[in-house]
Amino acid sequence: MYAKLLMLCCAWAAVSAAPGLLDIGLSHGYAAPSYTIAAPAITTHAIAAPAVATHAIAAPVVRAEPIDPNPAYSFSYGVADPHTGDQKEAQETLQNGVVHGSYSLVEPDGHVRKVTYTADKVNGFNAVVQRTGGTHAAPVAVAAPIAKVALAPAPVAVAAPVAKLTLPALGHPW
C-alpha cells in the first residue's frame, strides 16, 4: 500500500513540476494558464546591464583507451607463517601472449605440492604437478591443554505443558 502511495506522490510531483506536460491535445478547449511577471518600472537612474557573451558548450568527446597489442605483467607473493605452519608461494608472468606461472604449498602431511603451468591461445592451459618431501606432518600451532574439572550432574527439570496458540493468517493486501 505504501509503495502505491509513494508512486502516486512521485507522479503528482512530476506533473506539478512540469506544467503543461499533460495538456497537449486536449479537445475541450482548455488551455493551461500562462503567467507573466512584470518587473516594476525604474524611473530614477537607468543602469545598463553588462554585455554577456554566450558560448555553446560542446559535449565531451569520449575516446577509447588505446589497446596494447602485446600486454605484459609479472607478479609474485609468498607466505611463511611459523605459528600456523602455512607456507605457500606463487608467481606468474605474461609475455608475448603466453602465461607462465607456478604455485606451491605445504600439505598437512608435510609434502610440498608444486604446480607449474603455461597457458596460451593455441595450446590452452597445461599444468605439471609435482609432490615432494617427507611424510612428516607440517608444524601446526597447538593450544595449551585445558585443566579437567569434575562436574556434578545437574538436576533434571520437567517442563510444564505448553498451550497451543494459533494466530490468524497475515498477508499482504495486494
How far is Cα 31 from Cα 25, in angstroms, rounded to an integer? 10
For the chain, which residues make up each domain, given as ranges? Answer: 73-132
* pLDDT tens readout for residues 45-65: 555 556 666 667 878 888 888
Chain-centre distance of CA 8, in angstroms?
Answer: 32
Strand 73-81: give its sheet, edge to edge: 73-81, 86-95, 98-106, 112-120, 124-132
105 forms beta bridges with 88, 113
Say how far apart CA 27 and CA 20 lie, in whole Å. Answer: 14
**Res 146 pLDDT > 60:** yes
Query: What DSSP letter does each residue of 23-64 carry, written as one string?
Result: -TT-SSS--------PPPPP-S---PPPP----PPPPPPP-P
SS3 category, 138: coil
C-alpha cell at 25: 491535445
What would the pLDDT profile of 76-122 be if each residue is shown by its tens digit?
A: 999 999 888 888 999 999 999 999 999 999 988 889 999 999 999 99
* Max Cα distance, the chain (Å): 105
CA angle 122–124–128, rounded 5-degree value? 130
Average pLDDT for residues 30-41, to the nearest whole number?
A: 52
Distance from C-alpha of 110 to C-alpha of 137, rounded to nearest angstrom: 5
